[in-house]
Amino acid sequence: MNIRVTTDADAYVTTLYQRHGSALHRWATRMLGGDWHRAEDIVQEVAIRAWQRPMDVGPMDHTARPRLLTVAGDLVTDGHRTRPEPPVERADEAELARLAVPDAADQTLTAQVVMGAMGELAPRQREVLLHLYYLGHSVGQAARSLGVPPGTVKSRMYYALRALREALRERGVTAC
Protein backbone atom coordinates (compact mmCIF):
# COMPACT_ATOMS: atom_id res chain seq x y z
CA MET A 1 0.00 0.00 0.00
CA ASN A 2 1.49 3.28 -1.07
CA ILE A 3 0.27 5.95 1.35
CA ARG A 4 1.30 9.53 0.75
CA VAL A 5 1.02 11.75 3.78
CA THR A 6 1.47 15.26 2.55
CA THR A 7 -0.12 18.56 3.15
CA ASP A 8 -1.14 18.68 -0.50
CA ALA A 9 -2.99 15.34 -0.25
CA ASP A 10 -4.75 16.42 2.93
CA ALA A 11 -5.82 19.70 1.36
CA TYR A 12 -6.91 17.85 -1.77
CA VAL A 13 -9.14 15.43 0.19
CA THR A 14 -10.52 18.22 2.38
CA THR A 15 -11.50 20.23 -0.67
CA LEU A 16 -13.00 17.13 -2.35
CA TYR A 17 -15.02 16.37 0.78
CA GLN A 18 -16.25 19.93 1.19
CA ARG A 19 -17.23 20.19 -2.46
CA HIS A 20 -18.65 16.69 -3.07
CA GLY A 21 -19.14 15.04 0.34
CA SER A 22 -22.84 15.78 0.89
CA ALA A 23 -23.79 14.82 -2.68
CA LEU A 24 -21.76 11.64 -2.34
CA HIS A 25 -23.43 10.82 0.98
CA ARG A 26 -26.96 11.40 -0.40
CA TRP A 27 -26.19 9.22 -3.43
CA ALA A 28 -24.72 6.41 -1.29
CA THR A 29 -27.74 6.57 1.05
CA ARG A 30 -30.10 6.13 -1.90
CA MET A 31 -27.97 3.27 -3.27
CA LEU A 32 -28.11 1.56 0.12
CA GLY A 33 -31.87 1.81 0.45
CA GLY A 34 -31.80 4.61 3.01
CA ASP A 35 -29.10 3.12 5.27
CA TRP A 36 -27.57 6.39 6.48
CA HIS A 37 -24.91 4.72 8.64
CA ARG A 38 -23.57 2.44 5.91
CA ALA A 39 -23.55 5.44 3.54
CA GLU A 40 -21.30 7.28 6.02
CA ASP A 41 -18.94 4.31 5.96
CA ILE A 42 -18.89 4.37 2.16
CA VAL A 43 -18.12 8.11 2.07
CA GLN A 44 -15.31 7.65 4.59
CA GLU A 45 -13.84 4.83 2.53
CA VAL A 46 -14.00 6.98 -0.62
CA ALA A 47 -12.20 9.77 1.27
CA ILE A 48 -9.51 7.34 2.47
CA ARG A 49 -8.98 6.06 -1.06
CA ALA A 50 -8.80 9.60 -2.42
CA TRP A 51 -6.26 10.48 0.28
CA GLN A 52 -4.18 7.37 -0.49
CA ARG A 53 -4.27 7.93 -4.27
CA PRO A 54 -4.97 11.53 -5.15
CA MET A 55 -6.52 11.80 -8.59
CA ASP A 56 -4.77 13.52 -11.41
CA VAL A 57 -7.59 16.06 -11.57
CA GLY A 58 -8.27 18.85 -9.17
CA PRO A 59 -11.20 18.77 -6.69
CA MET A 60 -12.86 21.56 -8.63
CA ASP A 61 -12.56 19.70 -11.95
CA HIS A 62 -15.88 18.62 -13.48
CA THR A 63 -14.72 14.97 -13.61
CA ALA A 64 -13.99 14.67 -9.88
CA ARG A 65 -17.58 14.01 -8.78
CA PRO A 66 -18.28 11.27 -11.38
CA ARG A 67 -15.03 9.55 -10.38
CA LEU A 68 -15.96 9.69 -6.67
CA LEU A 69 -19.45 8.38 -7.41
CA THR A 70 -17.94 5.52 -9.41
CA VAL A 71 -15.69 4.56 -6.48
CA ALA A 72 -18.66 4.77 -4.09
CA GLY A 73 -20.80 2.67 -6.44
CA ASP A 74 -18.08 0.02 -6.60
CA LEU A 75 -17.89 -0.03 -2.79
CA VAL A 76 -21.68 -0.38 -2.47
CA THR A 77 -21.72 -3.21 -5.02
CA ASP A 78 -18.76 -4.99 -3.42
CA GLY A 79 -20.28 -4.59 0.03
CA HIS A 80 -23.59 -5.97 -1.16
CA ARG A 81 -21.89 -9.00 -2.69
CA THR A 82 -19.80 -9.81 0.37
CA ARG A 83 -22.41 -8.98 2.98
CA PRO A 84 -23.95 -12.19 4.32
CA GLU A 85 -27.70 -12.51 4.24
CA PRO A 86 -29.15 -12.10 7.72
CA PRO A 87 -30.63 -15.34 9.01
CA VAL A 88 -34.38 -15.50 8.79
CA GLU A 89 -35.90 -16.65 12.02
CA ARG A 90 -39.10 -18.58 11.75
CA ALA A 91 -41.31 -19.39 14.69
CA ASP A 92 -43.55 -22.39 14.79
CA GLU A 93 -47.10 -22.27 16.17
CA ALA A 94 -46.03 -23.25 19.69
CA GLU A 95 -43.48 -20.43 19.85
CA LEU A 96 -45.98 -17.91 18.52
CA ALA A 97 -48.56 -18.99 21.08
CA ARG A 98 -45.97 -18.69 23.84
CA LEU A 99 -44.99 -15.20 22.69
CA ALA A 100 -48.56 -13.94 22.36
CA VAL A 101 -49.49 -11.67 25.25
CA PRO A 102 -53.22 -11.16 25.66
CA ASP A 103 -54.23 -7.56 26.13
CA ALA A 104 -56.97 -6.16 28.37
CA ALA A 105 -59.57 -6.21 25.57
CA ASP A 106 -58.83 -9.88 24.86
CA GLN A 107 -59.11 -10.76 28.54
CA THR A 108 -62.39 -8.84 28.86
CA LEU A 109 -63.93 -10.57 25.85
CA THR A 110 -62.79 -13.97 27.09
CA ALA A 111 -64.28 -13.29 30.52
CA GLN A 112 -67.61 -12.26 28.95
CA VAL A 113 -67.78 -15.40 26.82
CA VAL A 114 -66.92 -17.65 29.78
CA MET A 115 -69.41 -15.90 32.09
CA GLY A 116 -72.13 -16.28 29.46
CA ALA A 117 -71.34 -19.98 29.10
CA MET A 118 -71.28 -20.42 32.89
CA GLY A 119 -74.75 -18.90 33.04
CA GLU A 120 -76.04 -21.97 31.17
CA LEU A 121 -74.73 -24.39 33.80
CA ALA A 122 -76.83 -25.80 36.61
CA PRO A 123 -76.40 -23.79 39.84
CA ARG A 124 -74.60 -26.69 41.60
CA GLN A 125 -72.14 -27.05 38.70
CA ARG A 126 -71.44 -23.31 38.69
CA GLU A 127 -70.92 -23.39 42.43
CA VAL A 128 -68.34 -26.21 42.21
CA LEU A 129 -66.41 -24.47 39.42
CA LEU A 130 -66.35 -21.22 41.38
CA HIS A 131 -64.93 -22.96 44.45
CA LEU A 132 -62.35 -25.00 42.56
CA TYR A 133 -61.19 -22.55 39.87
CA TYR A 134 -62.12 -19.05 41.00
CA LEU A 135 -61.47 -19.39 44.73
CA GLY A 136 -58.69 -21.97 44.22
CA HIS A 137 -60.04 -24.41 46.80
CA SER A 138 -58.96 -28.01 46.86
CA VAL A 139 -61.58 -30.74 46.44
CA GLY A 140 -61.60 -31.25 50.23
CA GLN A 141 -62.03 -27.54 50.95
CA ALA A 142 -64.83 -27.24 48.39
CA ALA A 143 -66.55 -30.31 49.88
CA ARG A 144 -66.47 -28.80 53.36
CA SER A 145 -67.71 -25.41 52.10
CA LEU A 146 -70.55 -26.98 50.11
CA GLY A 147 -71.41 -29.58 52.76
CA VAL A 148 -71.09 -32.52 50.34
CA PRO A 149 -68.69 -35.48 50.11
CA PRO A 150 -65.49 -35.05 48.04
CA GLY A 151 -66.73 -37.64 45.51
CA THR A 152 -69.79 -35.43 44.82
CA VAL A 153 -67.50 -32.43 44.23
CA LYS A 154 -65.45 -34.47 41.74
CA SER A 155 -68.56 -35.70 39.97
CA ARG A 156 -70.08 -32.22 39.73
CA MET A 157 -66.75 -30.85 38.50
CA TYR A 158 -66.59 -33.50 35.73
CA TYR A 159 -70.10 -32.75 34.49
CA ALA A 160 -69.67 -28.98 34.94
CA LEU A 161 -66.51 -28.92 32.82
CA ARG A 162 -68.17 -31.07 30.15
CA ALA A 163 -71.19 -28.73 30.05
CA LEU A 164 -68.97 -25.62 30.05
CA ARG A 165 -66.87 -27.01 27.19
CA GLU A 166 -70.06 -27.64 25.17
CA ALA A 167 -71.44 -24.15 25.94
CA LEU A 168 -68.17 -22.57 24.81
CA ARG A 169 -68.11 -24.69 21.65
CA GLU A 170 -71.60 -23.37 20.84
CA ARG A 171 -70.20 -19.84 21.16
CA GLY A 172 -67.43 -20.61 18.68
CA VAL A 173 -64.64 -21.20 21.18
CA THR A 174 -62.85 -24.35 20.06
CA ALA A 175 -59.55 -24.25 21.95
CA CYS A 176 -60.70 -25.61 25.29
Give pLDDT tens digits for 42-83.
888 888 887 777 666 566 667 778 888 888 888 888 776 566
Stated as kind and residue range, the H or E segment containing 93 is: helix 93-99
User: What is the percent of the chain where pLDDT is above 70?
Assistant: 76
Higher pLDDT, 25 or 89: 25
- What integer is the mean pLDDT of 128-133? 91
Q: 0.75 cut: is pTM over it?
A: no
| Nearest C-alpha neighbor of 130 from the set 115, 116, 140, 144 | 115
The Cα 158–Cα 160 span in angstroms is 6
Whole-number pLDDT of residue 163: 92
